[in-house]
């Protein structure tokens, strides 16, 4: 008896899923929402913001050179001559930190670097040194560039410090250490911001908007199946299913599985189109696929949670639309997270979009493997588990029980 019931349940799942898939293909919503719309929008954004040789973003960085030595000047020369930053950076000089702070607060410069007095001498002697960054929440892009430069400067200073100390320990006379270090490959800074989110031009934008559209439209794709569930409830189809010796969750699972599958196809197709059209690399393929898989699971659960609270199909559409756009905005699918105010950057981590965006940035920016995105995958999956549990409880308490 149990075996017969199990076969009947499986057959019912296949029937419900097959009917749902045929319906979505027949009315044209699946090809339009899952394939045409996300690929078209991702391509348009990529072409509009990355389709020429000029960088899409520019930043003005203030410089306070209290040192007057070679190191600050060399840093600026290297930055302006770096391929990744040509046309992106403009440096503006200020006499002191107060003037730079006023310029940053007033919007004249997006951020500022402050080189303290004696910086070059301290670095040359192996005592290290620290460069300060002045930022404004109104110019997050400039802050990203400035912090990236300081990170590279700090690494160079640390390397110079270690080289000087090693030379002294090796017996090099103190008055010859600086010359010895320079002759052996530590003459000065060499900046490179490869992998930085502002330096990738067209390819990085293609990744960002391709991923953003894929992540956002996953909600819309699943939303079509959630809507059909409510339509069938209104038409009495679900009431007729109650007469059969089958649990009603077969309808939920059958339709959810179709939504899950279509959303996964949608995301993978957008990923592929980004690679083929722009030559963009999203990073390690396995890591990318696992992130997309986790997001589709979370999106399916969240949309079903929304459907469990809706009374009509129109209401479900409205809820899904609202959730998708709010999550897309907060999670960086539309506007890059580094362009958001500081408090919104923290809020982005309550959305699956935010974690997927962070994970894809890690994969595309550093060339890391799947192990680098285990935390985003786990968090997004956890969001899906919580939302799915709440959805089941909502359906059980409502008319679907």
Say which residue the tokens 């072409």 belong to: 47
pLDDT at 156: 72
Helices (H), 170-248: 177-183, 201-235, 237-242
In this structure, of 188-192, 270-274, 337-341, the range with the lowest mean pLDDT score is 188-192
Q: Tell me whether strands 59-65 and 89-94 are parallel, antiparallel or unpaired.
A: parallel
Phi–psi pair at 65, nearest 5 degrees: -100, 85
Q: Which helix (H) or strand (E) holds 135?
A: strand 132-135
Give which of 249, 263, 347, 251 is closest to 302, Cα–Cα. 263
pLDDT at 384: 95
Residue scoring higher pLDDT (95 or 281): 95
Domain ranges for the chain, please list them.
Answer: 2-51+200-397, 59-183
Give which of 346, 335, 348, 361 is closest to 141, Cα–Cα. 335
> Are 63 and 119 within 8 A, CB to CB?
no
Averaged confidence pLDDT in the chain? 77
Task: For domain 59-183, give its CATH number from 3.30.70, 3.40.190, 3.40.50, 1.10.287.
Answer: 3.40.190
pLDDT at 203: 39
Q: How many CB atoms lie within 10 A of CB 28?
A: 10
Mean pLDDT on 21-30: 73
Mean pLDDT on 137-147: 72
- Sorted by sequence, the CB contacts under 8 Å of residue 26 that are 6+ apart come out as none
Measured between alpha carbons, how far is residue 352 from residues 307, 327, 384 in Å? 18, 8, 9
Q: How many CB atoms lie within 10 A of CB 200?
A: 23
Q: Which two tokens stand for residue 238?
A: 């679900």
DSSP string, 308-322: HH-SSHHHHHHHHHH
d(CA 289, CA 287): 6
Residue scoring higher pLDDT (383 or 70): 383
* Statement: residue 1 has pLDDT above 50: no
Mean pLDDT on 72-76: 82
> Are 136 and 105 within 8 A, CB to CB?
yes
Predicted confidence (pLDDT) per residue in 222-281, tens digit: 888 878 777 777 766 666 665 565 666 677 777 788 888 888 999 999 898 888 888 778
64 strand-pairing partners: 94, 114
pLDDT at 292: 95
In this structure, of 201-205, 287-291, 339-343, the range with the lowest mean pLDDT score is 201-205
In which band, very low, low, confident or very high, does the pLDDT at 96 lie, cut at 50, 70 and 90?
Answer: very high
Helices (H), 53-92: 70-81
In which band, very low, low, confident or very high, does the pLDDT at 163 lie, cut at 50, 70 and 90?
Answer: low
Q: Which helix (H) or strand (E) holds 288?
A: helix 285-309
- Which burial class, exposed, middle or buried, applies to 108 when counting CB atoms under 10 A from its CB (0-12, 13-18, 19+)? middle
What is the pTM assigned to this prediction? 0.64
pLDDT at 199: 40
């Amino acid at each position: 008896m149990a075996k017969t019931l199990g076969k009947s349940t499986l057959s019912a799942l296949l029937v419900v899923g097959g009917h749902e898939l045929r319906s979505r293909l027949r009315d044209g919503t699946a090809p339009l929402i899952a394939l045409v719309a996300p690929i078209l929008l991702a391509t348009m954004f990529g072409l509009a913001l990355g389709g020429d040789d000029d960088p899409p973003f520019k930043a003005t960085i203030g410089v306070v050179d209290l040192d007057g030595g070679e190191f600050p000047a060399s840093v600026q020369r290297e930055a302006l001559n770096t391929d990744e930053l040509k046309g992106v950076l403009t440096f503006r000089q200020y006499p002191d930190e107060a003037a730079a702070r006023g310029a940053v607060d007033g919007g004249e410069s997006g951020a500022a670097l402050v080189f303290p007095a004696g910086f070059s001498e301290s670095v040359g002697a192996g005592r290290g040194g620290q460069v300060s960054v002045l930022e404004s929440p109104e110019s997050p892009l400039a802050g990203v560039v400035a912090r990236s430069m300081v990170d590279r400067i700090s690494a160079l200073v640390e390397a110079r410090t270690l080289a000087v100390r090693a030379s002294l320990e090796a017996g090099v006379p103190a008055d010859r250490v600086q010359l010895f270090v320079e002759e052996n490959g530590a003459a000065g800074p060499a900046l490179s911001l490869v992998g930085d989110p502002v330096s990738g031009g067209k390819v990085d934008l293609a990744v960002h908007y391709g991923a953003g559209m894929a992540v956002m439209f996953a909600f819309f794709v699943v939303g079509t199946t959630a809507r059909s569930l409510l339509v069938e409830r209104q038409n009495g189809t679900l009431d007729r299913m109650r007469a059969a010796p089958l649990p009603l969750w077969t309808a939920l699972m059958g339709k959810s599985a179709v939504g899950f599958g279509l959303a996964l196809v949608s995301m993978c197709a957008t990923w592929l189109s980004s690679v083929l059209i722009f030559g963009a690399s999203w990073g390690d393929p396995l890591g990318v696929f696992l992130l997309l898989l986790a997001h589709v699971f979370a999106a399916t659960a969240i949309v079903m949670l929304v459907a469990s609270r809706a009374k009509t199909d129109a209401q479900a559409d409205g809820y899904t639309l609202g959730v998708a756009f709010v999550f897309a905005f907060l999670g960086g699918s539309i506007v890059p997270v580094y362009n958001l105010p500081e408090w919104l950057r923290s809020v982005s981590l309550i959305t699956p979009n935010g974690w997927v965006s962070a994970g894809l940035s890690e994969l595309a920016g550093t060339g890391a493997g799947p192990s680098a995105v285990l935390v985003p995958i786990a968090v997004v999956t956890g969001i899906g588990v919580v939302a799915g549990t709440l959805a089941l409880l909502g359906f059980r308490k409502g008319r679907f029980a």
